[in-house]
Amino acid sequence: MAHNFDGFFYPKSIAIVGASSKEKTLGRELMKNLLNFGYNGKIYPINPKADMILDVKAYPAVTAIEDSIDLAIIMVSKQFIISSIDDCAEKNIRNIIVITAGFKEVGEEGIEMEKLLMKKISDYGMRMVGPNCMGIINTKEGVMMNGTFVQGEPNPGGIGFVSQSGALGAAVLKILKLKDVGFAQFLSIGNKADIDETGMLEYWRDNDDVKVITLYLESFGDARKFMETAKTVTKKKPVISIKAARTAAGMKAASSHTGALASADTVVDAIFEQSGVIRVASVDELFDLAKSFDRTILPEGKRVGILTNAGGPAILTVDEAQNSGLNVPVLSEATQNKLKEICVPEAAFSNPVDVLPPATAEIYGKATEIMMSDENIDAGIIILGPPLMHDTLEIGKHICEAVMKSGKCSTVVLMSQDDIIPKLAEAVPGHPPIFNNCEAAAKAIGQMYKYKLYKEKAEGKYIKYTGKKKIVNDILKKYKGGETYIAFDDVVEILKAYELPIVESFFAVNVQQSVDIADKIGYPVVIKVAGKKLVHKSDVGGVIVNIKNLEELIQAENKIIAGLKEKGIDNQLEGFTIQPFIKGGTETILGVMKDAKAGHLVAFGMGGVMVEVMKDVKFKLLPVNDMEAEELIKSVNAYRILKGVRGNPPVDIEFVKGNILKLSQLISDFPEIEELDLNPFVFSHQADRSKILDARIKIKL
């Protein structure tokens, strides 16, 4: 069940523990904000040294208040925090915001202090926001709570914003009006000792006041829980996130191919992509998109109409629209004829429509209406360059009214007229999103369209596969604790137990054995050097393929041995692996790595010895459902080869998918597998000729 945080966002009474009359204190600033924004409930300033604070009756402690209290915002000095919490418990206050800083963020002593605080909170059965945060906002009429201490006027709207950085939240609050961004609810989560982004996702999923969820994150509280929760939210309402501190992720150096292909941000990208969270790179992008979701509807299709009084900006818009996956189709003849009736003859009518600078407010409005009602158009971008001799605000109003009538996705761009944006926004209730640059509008519609496709996409199914668990169990039992590579023979058995098609392999400790094996399985064969320390076989010249006869086989083994001697590592040689040589097919890599926080990920892409050069590999968190497995396959270049190019017959993608799902099951059943490389995994158009030619497994017990 979702947490209910209504007590935080819709409190009927708030105690401000640490309220103050003193200039330049947080306690005064927060009181002022609550009062000025017009909070609709009761405010109880707590301060043992004051009777009144900013004309509101003050109390020496929460316990001195007679009424019941829904929310306590605490900003006393660190040493008084615990006693304040005790007081709140005595007064039976369930919801606590701790603004006071000096906890986890200042090191050892603070960490201890935060643990103590958190223990109190959970012992008392309270919920807490913070510590080290900036407060909370709800702009809803009838609530009107600005429980933060920062400057700036909360602008109402449908956006929920969680900020892990107080300062960034403060910066954003300051420009809301200028950028036409409207918040429903805002929360600075600080050190998120208790309530974190995942809790907020759950809460806002079921809160109708919040239409769009935005996040500024520097870390995940619990990466896997975040993903699982986000999956349940994103089909209902869009979630857009910045994940900062990209390079700080710092992944463990990996010895596997799969691990080496992952960048510091791979896991974050996988989490967002798989849970449908839209990741953006900057604060501007975050709110450009959020306000679009908030102030207009999703486009039905990807065909966008552009109307302008200025050629250059319209061309830039076409470029960005196409870049964002949208089309800019020619308008119907009927539409063009209607436009010709009202515009000057030199105007452009096909799309973009250029009404030219002489266009009045009436013409602009009428032309917008005509364009938006064209059947070929799913969304509109109406651009207004600085008009020479007309009033921007007046034209803006006509545009807004026209697009609102259309009932289609639309945006308005006031090029370089930033000062008009808040005025127009205020003048037209229910206005569409207003931008000051055209590229941002086109980009936002492109992302909205992608979100629409995501929302409509069928849900995937988790396919249960029953592997021979006992076999794997028995093998793993042989290994002791710590991190170990599994012997190749055991790897073969493990893969067979889950019907992953590892090529037949035989081990030979001398030339005679090699010859016997090759005779048995038939030429051509492949030989590979074997030895626990010889992990990257190709690098030491330890793989020779397409050996066609006895003579070549002996030559090959001698060549490998000579090569090892030259490198002075011939003492690492334990023998040779002999396999039939598989001709043709497409080399892929299928692998697994484990992230310390997010757990296992599967990787798929172009394989073979060039895997690190190609870098054609994508990741998903495990387990994957059938849809996710299919998306993974389709997201890499290798897919285009598997589908069949230049005369090669296509590979059955369902078969590829089946192998990914079996691997997913193997990892679910045996999470002690830390790393796994199937490389190359050669797929042929004949499923029974598709083979894993080499494999490695590392476990951690």
Residues numbered 120 to 149 that lie near its own copies (CB under 8 A) are 149
Distance CA 207, CA 536 (A): 54
Distance CA 245, CA 243 (A): 7
Of the candidate spans 31-39, 43-51, 384-392, 454-462, the one that interacts with its own copies by CB under 8 A turns out to be 384-392
Q: Is 357 in the site for its own copies (CB under 8 A)?
A: yes
- Which segments within 283-402 are labelled E, that is strand? 304-308, 353-354, 379-384
Of 178, 342, 521, 561, which one interacts with its own copies (CB under 8 A)?
Answer: 178
Distance CA 586, CA 28 (A): 68
DSSP state of 303: B
Per-residue HEC secondary structure of 57-93 comes to ECECCHHHCCCCCCEEEECCCHHHHHHHHHHHHHCCC
Which residue bears the tokens 């086109």? 442
**To 10 degrees, the CA torsion angle through 244, 246, 250, 251?**
110
SS3 (DSSP) at 478: coil
Whose Cβ is closer to its own copies: residue 171's or residue 569's?
Answer: 171
Of 222, 319, 394, 570, which one interacts with its own copies (CB under 8 A)?
Answer: 319
Of 434-463, which residues contact its own copies (CB under 8 A)? 437, 439
Of 77, 122, 538, 549, which one interacts with its own copies (CB under 8 A)?
Answer: 538
315 in the Ramachandran plot: left (φ > 0), alpha (ψ -120 to 50) or beta? alpha
Whose Cβ is closer to its own copies: residue 155's or residue 406's?
Answer: 155
Q: What mask, x for binding its own copies by CB under 8 A, covers residues 479 to 518?
A: ----------------------------------------
For the bound state, the minimum distance from the C-beta of residue 323 to its own copies, rounded and expressed in Å, comes to 8
SS3 (DSSP) at 421: helix
What separation in angstroms does the CA of 128 have from each of 7, 41, 94, 95? 11, 20, 9, 6
For the bound state, the minimum distance from the C-beta of residue 537 to its own copies, rounded and expressed in Å, comes to 9
For the bound state, the minimum distance from the C-beta of residue 206 to its own copies, rounded and expressed in Å, comes to 28
Whose Cβ is closer to its own copies: residue 10's or residue 186's?
Answer: 186
Q: Is 247 in the site for its own copies (CB under 8 A)?
A: yes
DSSP state of 104: G
Of 35, 82, 144, 244, which one interacts with its own copies (CB under 8 A)?
Answer: 244
Whose Cβ is closer to its own copies: residue 152's or residue 575's?
Answer: 152
The token pair that represents 23 in the structure block: 């200039």
Whose Cβ is closer to its own copies: residue 165's or residue 514's?
Answer: 165
Are 44 and 87 in contact by the 8 Å Cβ rule? The answer is no
Q: Is 310 in the site for its own copies (CB under 8 A)?
A: yes
Whose Cβ is closer to its own copies: residue 282's or residue 466's?
Answer: 282
Which residues lie below 8 Å from residue 490, measured CB to CB, with a gap of 6+?
475, 478, 697
Q: What mask, x for binding its own copies by CB under 8 A, covers residues 73 to 102?
A: ----------------------------xx
416 in the Ramachandran plot: left (φ > 0), alpha (ψ -120 to 50) or beta? left
SS3 (DSSP) at 106: helix
Of 316, 342, 463, 627, which one interacts with its own copies (CB under 8 A)?
Answer: 316
SS3 (DSSP) at 624: coil
Whose Cβ is closer to its own copies: residue 656's or residue 667's?
Answer: 656
Whose Cβ is closer to its own copies: residue 157's or residue 313's?
Answer: 313
Of 146, 155, 164, 588, which one interacts with its own copies (CB under 8 A)?
Answer: 164
Of 1, 253, 389, 458, which one interacts with its own copies (CB under 8 A)?
Answer: 389
Of the candidate spans 169-177, 295-303, 368-376, 520-528, the one that interacts with its own copies by CB under 8 A turns out to be 169-177
Q: Report whether the peptide linkage leading into residue 432 is cis, meaning its omega lies within 30 degrees of zero.
A: no
Q: Is 163 in the site for its own copies (CB under 8 A)?
A: yes
Of the candidate spans 367-375, 400-408, 479-487, 612-620, the one that interacts with its own copies by CB under 8 A turns out to be 612-620
Of the candidate spans 193-201, 317-325, 423-431, 574-582, the one that interacts with its own copies by CB under 8 A turns out to be 317-325
Closest C-alpha to 43, from 14, 81, 19, 72: 14
SS3 (DSSP) at 309: coil
What separation in angstroms does the CA of 277 have from each of 213, 422, 448? 10, 29, 12
Q: Is 596 in the site for its own copies (CB under 8 A)?
A: no
For the bound state, the minimum distance from the C-beta of residue 542 to its own copies, rounded and expressed in Å, comes to 8
Of the candidate spans 360-368, 445-453, 495-503, 539-547, the one that interacts with its own copies by CB under 8 A turns out to be 539-547
Q: Is 614 in the site for its own copies (CB under 8 A)?
A: yes
Of 272-301, which residues contact its own copies (CB under 8 A)? 281-284
Whose Cβ is closer to its own copies: residue 176's or residue 673's?
Answer: 176
Of 19, 113, 170, 663, which one interacts with its own copies (CB under 8 A)?
Answer: 170
For the bound state, the minimum distance from the C-beta of residue 622 to its own copies, rounded and expressed in Å, comes to 27
Number of residues located near its own copies, criterion CB under 8 A: 75
Are 451 and 278 in contact by the 8 Å Cβ rule? The answer is yes
Of the candidate spans 22-30, 468-476, 493-501, 594-602, the one that interacts with its own copies by CB under 8 A turns out to be 22-30
Whose Cβ is closer to its own copies: residue 150's or residue 476's?
Answer: 150
Q: Is 350 in the site for its own copies (CB under 8 A)?
A: no
Are 242 and 286 in contact by the 8 Å Cβ rule? The answer is yes
SS3 (DSSP) at 638: helix
Q: Is 36 in the site for its own copies (CB under 8 A)?
A: no
What separation in angstroms does the CA of 314 have from each of 310, 330, 438? 7, 14, 8
